[in-house]
Chains A and B, each alone.
Chain A
Amino acid sequence: MTDVTASGVPGAITTSDGVPLKVSLARATRRQRMQALLLVMPLLLFLLVAFVLPIGEMLFRSIYSPIGPNVLPNFSKVIHEWDGEDLPPEAVFEVFVKDMTKAKESNEIGKTIGNLATRVNYEIPGSRGLFTKSARKVKNITEGPYKEALIALDKRWENQHIWRTLQRISSNYTASFYLAATDRKYNEDNEIVRADPLYQIYLPILGKTLWLSALITFICLLIAYPVSYLLATLPLRTSNLLMIMVLLPFWTSLLVRTTAWIAMLQTEGIVNNILVFTRVISEESRIQMIYNQTGTIVAMVHILLPFMILPLYSVMKTIPPYYMRAARSLGATGTYSFIKVYFPQTIPGIAAGTLLVFILAIGYYITPALVGGSDGLLISNLIADHIKKTLNWSLGSALGAILLAIVLIFYWIYNKLVGVDNLKFG
C-alpha cells in the first residue's frame, strides 16, 4: 500500500503516518463503537445476572420437572420401552416396586414419595392416596410376581392411566404444565383434551385479564384525551399548574393510592356518603364498589391514567393550533375539522399511551390483590398464589411464561410503532 501512495496514484489518500484513510477511519469507528459498547457493558452484565438469568430460570422451571427420574431413577429408564398397550411387562413392575421401596427410605427434598405423589396428583387429581398408601406396604413385596402383588395391594394399579402418566413424568422435561396452564390435560387414552369445565380456571382468568386491561385502557383513553387536549392548548403557566394535578398522583405511592380508593369506595366511604348526602341514593341502598371488579377498574384507571396523559400531551403539544383554524376558515365545522385534521395527528400519542397502559395493566398485581375481592383478580394474582401459597412452582412458571409472551408481543408492537426511545416522563 505504501508503494502505491509513494507513487502518487490518485484515490489512495493516506493519513500522516501512511495508513490509507479508509483503513484509518474504519479503525477509528471501530474503536468508537467499542467505547460505546464498553459504556453499556456494565449495565448489560448487571441486568444479565439480576434480571435476564432469573427470567430464564423461570422459563426453564416451566418445562423442567425432574421429580419422576429423581424418585424412581431405574424405573424411569425402563418404562420408556413400554409401548403403552395393556400393562407394562413384569420386569418393569419389579423395577418399580424396588424403586418405590428405596424411595420410601428417602428424606431428601425432591426425592420422596410425597413429592412423587404430588407430581402425579397434578396429572390425575385424587391419585395422591394411591402412592402414599402403596408406599407404606410396598416393602412387603419381596419376590415376584410383582405385577399381581402390586395389584393385590391396590386395584388402581391395574389402571393403564396411572402407568401412562408415570411414563410421561419419567422424563426430566415436560410440557404438561403448559397444558395445565391452558386448561388442558391427558385423558385416559393419552390424548390431549380440554379439562372438565369445573377445572377450567386459567384460560378464563387470562381472558378476563385481557378484557379488563382492554377496558381499563379504553376508559383511560376516554378520560385522558380531553385532559391532554386542555393541557396542550392552555397557556403554559396554567397548564404547568394543572400538570401538577396529573403528576402528583403519578408520584404518589401505589399503595397510598390504593388505600385512598378503599377509603373512597367502601360502603361507608366518601363516594357513598356523598351520594347519600346529596340524596342520589338512600341510606339503605349504599353501593358495593370495592372488593370486586368495579374497585379494580376504578383504582387501576386512576393509577394508570398518567401513563396515558403524558404521551398524549407530548404529542398534542406539537400540533400547531393554526391547523384547526385553517380548517375552520376553509369552511369545515368544528366537529369535522376535529375528526379530519386534529384527531389523525394525535394517533401516535394514542398508540403510545394505549400500548403502554395495556402492557402495564396486564401484569398488575398489587391493586387487584388489595381491592379486587375474588372476582377482580387477574392472572398475576394466580401466578403469585402458585409461587407463594400452593407451591406448584412449575405451573406458576408456565403461567408466567404465557403472560410474559403476551406482554413481549405488545412490547414488540410498541417498539415498532412508537419506538422505545420515545418513552418520557413529565
Chain B
Amino acid sequence: MTALDKLPAPGYIAYVVACIVAYLFTGTLVATIGIALIIGLPLFFMSELPPYATWLEKFGQYIFLLICTMIFIFLITPVLIIMPLSFNSEPYFSFTQGMMSLDPAAFSTRWYQDIFLFGMNDPNRTEGWWSDVWNNATWVKAAANSFKFAVLATILATFFGTLAALGLSRPEMPWRSAITSLLISPMIVPLVITATGMFFFYAKKDTFPFFPRGLINEDIGIVLAHATLGVPFVIITVTATLTGFDNSLIRASKSLGANGWTTFRRVIMPLIMPGMISGALFAFITSLDEVVAVIFLADVHQVTIPRQMFSGIREQISPTILAVATVLVLISIGLLTTLELLRRRSERLRGLSPG
C-alpha cells in the first residue's frame, strides 16, 4: 500500500493537481519537486482513520499534518542549513549559483582552515606552526577559554546542585517551595540583570579573599557566574531522577550496616547518576553558550567562543562563524545523543517503561 492510498480519491486527484499548479506557477522542476515532497510528506504520517470518518475529517487530518510538517521544517532548517553554507568557497552567507548546481569548485574547507589561521602571527611558517596556532589563533584561544570556564563551572554547579537536590527531595525539608524557587531563579531572572549585579558586586575591592582587586577581569568571576546559571539545570534534572526514589532502599542499606557515606556511594549515587550527568551536560552547554556575563565581566583577553561569535556577527560577518557554528552543532548532537542514552538508562534503572 502506498502512502497515497490513504488519501480519499478526491484527495489523490487534488495532490496531483496541486503539483501541476506548482509547476505552472514556479516554472522550474526543482521547485516543483520540493513542493511535491513537502505536501506529500504528511501522507506518510496519516493514520488509518476509522471507516466512518468523513471526507472532511480526512482532509482535516491531512491539513493538520501538513502544518506540523511545516513547523518541523521551521524548527530544523536553520540548524541544518548552516552546515552546507559553511563549505561555501565565497565569503557569502548565502548559496551561490555554483553551489546550487553542485559544482565542486564552489565548495571548499577554507573557513574551517580559517578557524586555525585567523589571528596567527605567520600562517606560512613551517616551524612551530601548532604552537603559533595554540598561542595566537583567535578561535583556538577562545575555545580553550570556553572549555576551561565550562568545565570549572560545571564541576561547581554539579557539586552544589546535587547536594541541594538531595536535600530538597527529602520529605522533611522545611520551606521547600520557597527555597526551590530561589535556587531555580538564576534561570528566570534576565541575564542582563544578573550580569549587571555581578558587574557591580564583583568589582568591589578588598571584599573577596585572595582577590583584593575584585573578581572583574578574573577567571573566577566568570566561573562563578556560569556556575550560578548552571545550578538550576542540575537541580531540575537531579530532582527529577529522585522523584519516585524508594526511600526504603536507604533504610535497607542502613539496616545492612552501611554508614551514610557507603549508602550514598553504593545506593543513591548509581540511581541519581543519570540525572547528575544530564544536569552536568546542561550546565556545561549553558556555560559554553553564555555570552552576556562574559561581556559584562571579562576583559578583552578573556575571549570565549560565543563572545567571538557575538562580536563577529556585529562587526565583520564571515563564514568562519558558520564553520564554528557547524562544529558547535556537531557537539550539540553528541551531547543530545548522550543525554538520550542516559534517559533510557535511567528509566530502565527506575523500572519505568522503556522509551
Interface residues of A (CB under 8 A from B): 29, 32-33, 35-40, 42-44, 46-47, 49-58, 61, 223, 226-227, 230, 234, 236, 238, 240, 242, 244-249, 251-264, 266, 268-270, 273, 277-279, 302, 305, 334, 359-360, 362-366, 369-370, 380, 383-384, 387-388, 393, 396-397, 400, 403-404, 407, 411, 415, 419-421, 423-426
Least CB separation from B260: chain A residue: A35
Residues in chain B near residue A246, CB distance under 8 A: 75
Q: Given known contacts A58-B200, A255-B291, A425-B282, is B191 in contact with A363 (CB within 8 Å)? A: yes
B310, A370: Cβ atoms under 8 Å?
A: yes
Docked Cα-Cα span, A404 to B191, in Å, equals 10
Which of B94, B184, B225, B239 has the largest number of chain A CB atoms within 10 A? B94
Q: Given known contacts A58-B196, A244-B336, is B328 in contact with A279 (CB within 8 Å)? A: no
B185, A260: Cβ atoms under 8 Å?
A: no
Q: Given known contacts A38-B167, A269-B94, is B325 in contact with A260 (CB within 8 Å)? A: yes
Q: Can you list 11 A-B pairs with a CB-CB distance of less than 8 A?
A: A37-B174, A46-B228, A54-B197, A54-B202, A55-B194, A234-B45, A251-B335, A252-B79, A383-B196, A384-B296, A421-B180
- Interface check B199, CB cutoff 8 A: yes
A227, B72: Cβ atoms under 8 Å?
A: yes
A54, B201: Cβ atoms under 8 Å?
A: yes
Interface size class of B (residues with CB under 8 A): 35 or more
Contact of A55 among B77, B191, B197, B333 (CB under 8 A): B197
Q: Given known contacts A227-B72, A266-B93, A268-B92, is B190 in contact with A363 (CB within 8 Å)? A: yes
A252, B332: Cβ atoms under 8 Å?
A: yes
B67, A43: Cβ atoms under 8 Å?
A: no
Write the B225-237 contact mask toward A (1 if CB under 8 angstroms, else 0).
Answer: 1011001010011
A226, B68: Cβ atoms under 8 Å?
A: yes
Residues in chain B near residue A366, CB distance under 8 A: 291-292, 310
Interface residues of B (CB under 8 A from A): 25-28, 31, 35, 45, 57, 60, 64-65, 67-68, 71-72, 74-79, 81-82, 85, 92-95, 156, 160-161, 163-164, 166-168, 170, 172-174, 177, 179-186, 188-194, 196-202, 224-225, 227-228, 231, 233, 236-237, 239-240, 282, 285, 288-289, 291-292, 295-296, 306, 309-310, 313-314, 317, 321-322, 325, 328-329, 332-333, 335-336, 339-340, 343, 355
A37, B322: Cβ atoms under 8 Å?
A: no
Q: Given known contacts A50-B224, A421-B239, is B172 in contact with A36 (CB within 8 Å)? A: yes
Least CB separation from B93: chain A residue: A263
B26, A363: Cβ atoms under 8 Å?
A: no
Docked Cα-Cα span, A247 to B282, in Å, equals 12
A-B contact count (CB 8 A): 288
B200, A279: Cβ atoms under 8 Å?
A: no
Residues in chain A near residue B335, CB distance under 8 A: 251
A57, B193: Cβ atoms under 8 Å?
A: no
Residues in chain A near residue B94, CB distance under 8 A: 263, 266, 268-270, 273
Q: Given known contacts A36-B167, A37-B174, A279-B26, is B31 in contact with A249 (CB within 8 Å)? A: no
B57, A264: Cβ atoms under 8 Å?
A: no
Q: Given known contacts A37-B173, A257-B79, is B180 in contact with A403 (CB within 8 Å)? A: no
B78, A42: Cβ atoms under 8 Å?
A: no
Least CB separation from B186: chain A residue: A51
B228, A51: Cβ atoms under 8 Å?
A: yes
- Nearest chain B CB to A240 CB, angstrom units: 6
Docked Cα-Cα span, A209 to B108, in Å, equals 42
- Nearest chain B CB to A257 CB, angstrom units: 6
